[in-house]
């Protein structure tokens, strides 16, 4: 596939919407933690009204337009298509997807890359549910729903990974292109669909522990409608994968 | 094979085993009749147990929140010096 194994390039796709401060912080932290690696950051901004794109342009001046790519879209068009959009502009042979809100810390990127190099995996996914991983800022109810959802999914789907809805992942580019084209779900069911489909297709998936810090306490609360969406997603995956 | 079919065939296999047991009468029939209820109850117990165990051992990372605050301060300082607008609203 590639000319040389050592010549890996990583494209970090970060979808944003109103993340003018966070995108600057995350770019700084990515550059801080990925020192001896060839990489690019692709910011897919969905027409944020808060000036996210202006900040990205300032960052481009600082770090170089070849390192930070701004690939905006006119309006909010959803997470799945944001990855497809970013993917079109990715020049790396590996793609990292992560959230812009700093719940995913760039300091884990080296462990994703190391794990991939050690195992030759097609996908390395971050998991919050093992030793060395964890969450911060979740109340008991949030933890309970998270555990319940996880046990349900593990029992019904046998996915082979411990954290289905996490969205901090490293993909071989060709694998991401293959998997993403068959995914139709939205929201975090989309993350689950991606990993379940990849697992069914027989791709080699490895896990690394990550921590997940909710900075705005309780911001990722789960309401009744999310639970219904989740159950519908589970049923959908049961009959289609 | 779709995953739902896998689960379905597993259930069929278990039912087959159960019907076999009913026919063979190795254990008293009155007990065999209750087996599906035991099965469902133990499945429920397994689920509750797994949720409970997961909840008790839920890994948390309060120290990470502090480290993140330090990283944010460091990033802001660096970026501000280089003319990136990091003054939040």
Say what the pLDDT of residue A216 is: 63
Average the pLDDT over each of A83-87, A92-96, A141-145, B72-76 and give the range with the smallest value: A141-145
In a domain, A182, yes or no: yes
Residues A144, A149, A150, CA angle at the centre, nearest 5°? 100
Best residue in A19, A22, A25 for a mutation probing chain B (most B CBs within 10 Å): A25
Report CB contact under 8 Å: B3, A128.
Answer: no
CA dihedral of A210, A152, A181, A240, whole degrees rounded to 10 = 160
Q: Which residue has the higher pLDDT, B12 or A224?
A: B12
Nearest to A136 among B60, B71, B88 (CB): B60
Report yes or no: A186 and A150 within 8 Å, Cβ to Cβ: no
- Band (pLDDT 50/70/90 cuts) for residue A169 is very high
B54: nearest CA in chain A? A147
CA distance A123 to A115: 10
CA distance A225 to B25: 48
Nearest CA to CA, how far is B11 from chain A (Å)? 12
In a domain, A47, yes or no: yes
The domain containing residue A164 runs over which residues? 9-240
Best residue in B48, B57, B68 for a mutation probing chain A (most A CBs within 10 Å): B68
Report CB contact under 8 Å: A128, B59.
Answer: yes
Overall number of domains in chain A: 1
Report CB contact under 8 Å: A130, B59.
Answer: yes
Q: Which chain A residues are Cβ-neighbours of B80 within 8 angstroms?
A: none
Q: Given its phi and psi angles, is residue A50 left (phi above 0), alpha (psi -120 to 50 degrees) or beta?
A: alpha
B70 in contact with A, Cβ within 8 Å:
no
CATH number of the domain encompassing residue A69: 3.90.550.10
Mean pLDDT of A13-30: 94
CA distance B57 to B51: 10
pLDDT digits (tens, 9 = 90+) for B3-35: 899 999 999 999 999 988 888 877 888 888 888
Segment 26-45 of chain A within 8 Å of chain B by CB: 28-29, 32
B56 in contact with A, Cβ within 8 Å:
no
In a domain, A2, yes or no: no
Say what the pLDDT of residue A128 is: 92
Q: Which of A211, A208, A217 has the alpha carbon at shortest distance from A135? A: A211
Report CB contact under 8 Å: A238, B7.
Answer: yes
CA distance A215 to A222: 16
Q: Which of A128, A187, A94, A175 has the alpha carbon at shortest distance from B57? A: A128
* Residue found under tokens 């082979």: A160
On average, the pLDDT of chain A sits at 90
Report yes or no: A94 and A176 within 8 Å, Cβ to Cβ: no
In a domain, A35, yes or no: yes
Residue A104 has pLDDT above 90, yes or no: yes
CA distance A39 to B81: 24
Mean pLDDT of A30-37: 94
CA distance A239 to B4: 5
Using DSSP, state whether A231 is helix, strand or coil.
helix
A130 in contact with B, Cβ within 8 Å:
yes
Report CB contact under 8 Å: B85, A147.
Answer: no
ipTM: 0.84
Say what the pLDDT of residue A2 is: 44
Say what the pLDDT of residue B28 is: 82
Segment 160-199 of chain A within 8 Å of chain B by CB: none
Q: Which residue has the higher pLDDT, B25 or A198?
A: A198
A165 phi and psi angles, rounded to 5 deg: -100, 0
Q: Which chain A residues are Cβ-neighbours of B11 within 8 angstroms?
A: none
End-to-end C-alpha distance for chain B, whole angstroms: 53
A151 in contact with B, Cβ within 8 Å:
yes
Write the DSSP symbol of residue A70: E
In a domain, A1, yes or no: no
pLDDT digits (tens, 9 = 90+) for A65-78: 999 999 999 998 88
Q: Which of B1, B52, B54, B2 has the alpha carbon at shortest distance from A163? A: B54
CA dihedral of A186, A188, A193, A194, whole degrees rounded to 10 = 100
A240: nearest CA in chain B? B2
Report CB contact under 8 Å: A62, B84.
Answer: yes
A158 in contact with B, Cβ within 8 Å:
yes
CA distance B68 to A103: 9
Using DSSP, state whether A22 is helix, strand or coil.
helix
> What does the domain layout of chain B look like in residue ranges?
3-81
Average the pLDDT over each of A20-34, A96-110, B9-23, B26-40 and give the range with the smallest value: B26-40
Report CB contact under 8 Å: B3, A158.
Answer: yes
Q: Which two tokens stand for residue B10?
A: 């597993």
């Amino acid at each position: 596939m590639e000319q040389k194994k050592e010549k890996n390039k990583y494209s970090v796709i970060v979808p944003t919407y109103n993340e003018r401060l966070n995108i600057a912080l995350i770019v700084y932290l990515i550059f801080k933690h990925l020192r001896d690696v060839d990489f690019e950051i692709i910011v897919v901004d969905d027409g944020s009204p808060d000036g996210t794109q202006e900040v990205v342009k300032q960052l481009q001046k600082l770090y170089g337009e070849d390192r930070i790519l701004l690939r905006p879209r006119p309006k909010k068009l959803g997470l799945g298509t944001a990855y497809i959009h970013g993917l079109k502009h990715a020049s790396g042979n590996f793609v990292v997807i992560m959230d812009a809100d700093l719940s995913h810390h760039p300091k884990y990127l080296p462990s994703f890359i190391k794990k991939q190099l050690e195992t030759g995996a097609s996908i390395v996914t971050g998991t919050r549910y093992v030793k060395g991983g964890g969450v911060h800022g979740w109340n008991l109810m949030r933890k309970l729903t998270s555990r319940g959802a996880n046990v349900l999914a593990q029992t019904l789907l046998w996915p082979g990974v411990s954290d289905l809805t996490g969205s901090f992942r490293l993909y071989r580019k060709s694998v991401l292109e293959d998997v993403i084209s068959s995914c139709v779900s939205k929201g975090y069911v989309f993350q689950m669909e991606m990993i379940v489909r990849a697992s069914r297709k027989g791709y080699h998936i490895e896990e690394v522990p990550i921590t997940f810090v909710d900075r705005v306490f309780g911001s990722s609360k789960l309401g009744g409608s999310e639970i219904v969406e989740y159950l519908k997603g589970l049923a959908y995956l049961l009959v289609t994968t | 094979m779709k995953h739902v079919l896998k689960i379905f065939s597993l259930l069929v296999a278990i039912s087959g085993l159960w019907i076999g047991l009913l026919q063979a009468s190795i254990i008293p029939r009155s007990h065999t009749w209750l087996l599906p209820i035991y099965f469902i109850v133990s499945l429920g117990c397994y689920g509750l147990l797994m949720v409970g165990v997961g909840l008790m051992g839920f890994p948390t990372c309060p120290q990470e929140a502090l480290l993140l605050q330090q990283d944010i301060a460091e990033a802001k300082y660096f970026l501000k010096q280089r003319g990136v607008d990091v003054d939040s609203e």
